[in-house]
Amino acid sequence: MESVELKVEMVGIHEKRLRKCLSKLKGIEKVEVDTNSQKVVVTGYTHKNKVLKAVRRGGLKADFWSAQNELLQAYAGGGVAYSTFRFSTFNFF
């Protein structure tokens, strides 16, 4: 049995669409969706490229989960609001 971790851009009702796309594949045992981190873990007896292709056919933006995503998630959820930093433009002339 193989686990495939995907980063899927989910907004609103996309979780229902995601589960519908994956239900068409044979060999899928379990689908875990974390909407906060946009992480999907698919467990079953199917090839990881088929899983990715099925999600993309459903109209969702998806890619394989990487260590970089873990790092970004750690910074975003670490209690520090990095998105509130603003840079002002300076005129040097």
Residue 78 has what pLDDT? 52
Residue 87 lies in a domain: no
- pLDDT digit string (tens) for 37-83? 889 999 999 999 999 999 999 889 999 988 776 666 666 665 444 44
Residue 52 lies in a domain: yes
CATH code of the domain covering residue 38: 3.30.70.100
**Which of these, 93, 26, 1, 11, lies nearest to 59 by C-alpha position?**
11
Residue 27 lies in a domain: yes
**Domain around 68:** 2-76
Residue 84 lies in a domain: no
* 0.75 surpassed by pTM: no
Residue 52 has what pLDDT? 94
Residue 79 has what pLDDT? 45
Residue 86 lies in a domain: no
Total of domains in the chain: 1
As beta bridge partners, residue 34 has 39
Q: In Å, how far are 40, 54, 86, 89 from 57, measured between CA atoms?
A: 16, 5, 37, 42
Half-sphere exposure of 58 (CA within 13 A, CB side): 25
